[in-house]
Structure formats: C-alpha cells, structure tokens
Amino acid sequence: MRPTLEDVAAYAGVSRSTASRALNAEVYVSPDAREKVLVAAQALGYSPNQAARSLVTRRTNAIALVLSEPEPKVLEDPYFAEIVRGAFRELSGRGSQMLMMLVDSREDVPGTLRFLEGGHVDGALVFASHQADPLPTALRLLRLPMVFGGGRPGSGTRGLHLVDFDNEGGAKLAVEHLLSLGRKRIGTVAGPQDQRAAIDRCAGWRTTLGLDDRATARLSEEGDFSSESGERAMARLLKRVPRLDAVFVANDPMAAGALRALRAAGRRVPQDVAVVGFDDHRGLAESTQPPLTTIHQDPRGQVRQMVDTLFQLIDGAGPPPGRQVLPVSLVRRDSA
C-alpha cells in the first residue's frame, strides 16, 4: 500500500505534526528531526498527496506564463524563445510547474481570465506590451499575484509590478557609439510605436541626436520587429536618405533584415553604413554578415527578477508596485 504521513512519522520516531512541518519546510523543526523525516520519506518512497496538500497550503505549485502576442510572433521571435526557456528553468528550480498561455487575440481574453481566477495557479508572469491590449486592465481586477515583463505604454502602470530594461539608455549607448565613429547622418528603423520598448528606443535615438519633429520623420522608418519589416523599412529609408551613413535598428531581427537591404543596395557595412541593433540575440547577432554590433540585454535575467518578485508577492512579502529597470550594455562587432 502507498505509505502515509503516519508511516513516515513512525519510521522517523517523531509525531505526525513534526513530520508534516518537516516535509513542508516549515520552521520550528530541529535540524535532527528534519533529517530523520526526510530520510524516512525517502526510505519508504513517500510522496505527499498534492490535492490534499493544496487544501492545506492553498498552493497549486503552478505558475502561468501569459504571452499576449499573436502565435506566429511567439513561435518565431528569439526573444520569446529565451523568455519561455528562462521561465521554465527558474520555475522548475523552485519546484513549480510552468503553464504557458497564449493570448492570440481579444477573443482569448475572457477565457484567460476565467482560468486565472479559477484557482489553478499561484501567480502569473505576464508579457503584454501593446497599448491597445485589454488584458492588463482586465487582469488588475483579479486577486492574483502577477508581475509584468516590460513597461506598459501610456499611464496604465499604476499598481503594477513591472520588470523592464533600460531601453532608452540602450539606444543612447548605440547612438553615442555611432557618433564616436564619426557618423553624421544616423537614421533609425524603429519598432512598433504602440509598444513601450519601441517607444523608448526611438526616444533615446531622437534625444541623443537632438532631432526636431521634421528631422525625426525624415530619418526614421517603422517596422514590426520582424526581419522582413526591417528589410522593407531600411529600403525605404535609403531611398529617402541616400547619403545615410549609419542606422540604429530597434531589434536584432530587424537589423538582420536591414543588412540584407543594404547589401541589395550595394552599400558596404560598415564602410558605407554602420549598423547597430538591440537585444544581442544568441545565435543571431553573431551569425549575420557582418556580425552585428548590438545592445545586450538578458531576457533570462529579466525572468529571474520577475520570478523572484512573484514569489515574494505569493508569500505576502513583495515590494510595493513599481517598475524595476535592468541595465543593458554595448557589444561591439564588425557592423559598427
């Protein structure tokens, strides 16, 4: 028969309550008693009944990773691949299961809310960066610990826990590097301007160069963070500003597309046009031709900080709501 908690307690020579406290890693258990209980549990092959434990602890040992993006982007964007890998490793290391939820459209929001408020998870890690996305506002109505990855566009950040990168500061690093190389006409391929990261990166480029509205419009093109959009935006920018000698691109996939457009136009990189990306995606930034100078950020570090904050909130001892900003750095390669 399956061993019970009473069997473990008898084997260890302690009371049932002591065995329970030891197995649940609670305080007020002596190191000697804890060791005896753990040895007994291993010797007997005891594993707690998770359903019964959940009734006592009110924990499911499951965390939702909520990605509010179209399915193709989640599956193709290397940033989200790093987020999923990082979340899985961080949560499994803490004894929690990761449950990934894709919110592909507005129609998915009601079902997502019903599941999250149904007591199936202890908390949520949420990535929902689009300005028109209704999910963050709806999630605020739930009494569920949650931490958001990245900033929220506009003023809808009050009362939220956010972990973001210094996107504006990273853009400043990129532009200052290009200026130090003697570049004079520095354009940008910006990301979608309904996302906080893209807004901040474009702002860092603009303010570092001191551009007015007219110059900003002339020297910038917008993509959607995909490689194809970066290629198209770079071609448009070259057509309008043929003497462009440098470009800051808001993420590495778009920078890879920009390199293709420059090559097709007969422009040498970096001799004619220097290129700096953003993200330092493993396997991408080093494999472009030429290898990409880029701004390094650490998605797994972001997830680690999000998980730390979330578990503090679950334990009732989390920090007050606010935005935690993680540093970035410049990685020099051959494109600039």
One DSSP character per residue, 184-241 reads --EEEEE--TTBHHHHHHHHHHHHHHT--HHHHHHHEEE--SSHHHHHHHHHHHHHH-
> Which residue has tokens 């989200």?
80
Residues written for the chain: 336
**pLDDT value for 95:** 86
Detail the DSSP E strand segments found in the chain: 62-67, 97-102, 123-127, 146-149, 161-165, 186-190, 220-222, 246-249, 274-279, 293-296, 322-326, 329-331
Residues 6+ apart with CB under 8 A from 115: 64, 101
Sign of CA dihedral 177, 181, 184, 185: negative
Write the burial class of residue 252 (CB in 10 Å: 0-12 exposed, 13-18 middle, 19+ buried): buried
**pLDDT value for 118:** 86
Smallest Cα–Cα separation from 157: which of 128, 119, 124?
128
- Please answer whether residues 295 and 278 qualify as being in contact, where contact means their C-beta atoms are separated by less than 8 angstroms: yes
Sign of CA dihedral 112, 157, 61, 9: negative
Q: How far is CA 104 from the centre of its chain?
A: 17
Helix (H) or strand (E) holding 257: helix 252-264
CA distance 62 to 95: 9
Tell me, what amino acid is at 143?
A: R
**pLDDT value for 289:** 95
**pLDDT value for 51:** 46
CA distance 336 to 333: 6
Tell me, what amino acid is at 5?
A: L
**pLDDT value for 54:** 47
The per-residue pLDDT string of the chain (336 residues; one tens digit each, 9 = 90 and over) reads 678 888 899 999 999 888 888 887 676 788 888 889 888 888 888 876 544 554 445 678 899 999 998 888 888 888 899 999 999 999 998 889 999 999 988 888 899 999 998 888 999 999 988 887 888 888 888 889 999 998 765 545 567 899 999 999 999 999 999 999 999 999 999 999 989 999 999 999 999 999 999 999 999 999 999 999 999 999 999 999 999 999 999 999 999 999 999 999 999 999 999 999 999 998 899 999 999 999 999 999 999 999 999 999 998 887 888 899 999 999 999 999
Smallest Cα–Cα separation from 333: which of 266, 258, 262, 280?
280
Smallest Cα–Cα separation from 35: which of 53, 16, 4, 12?
12
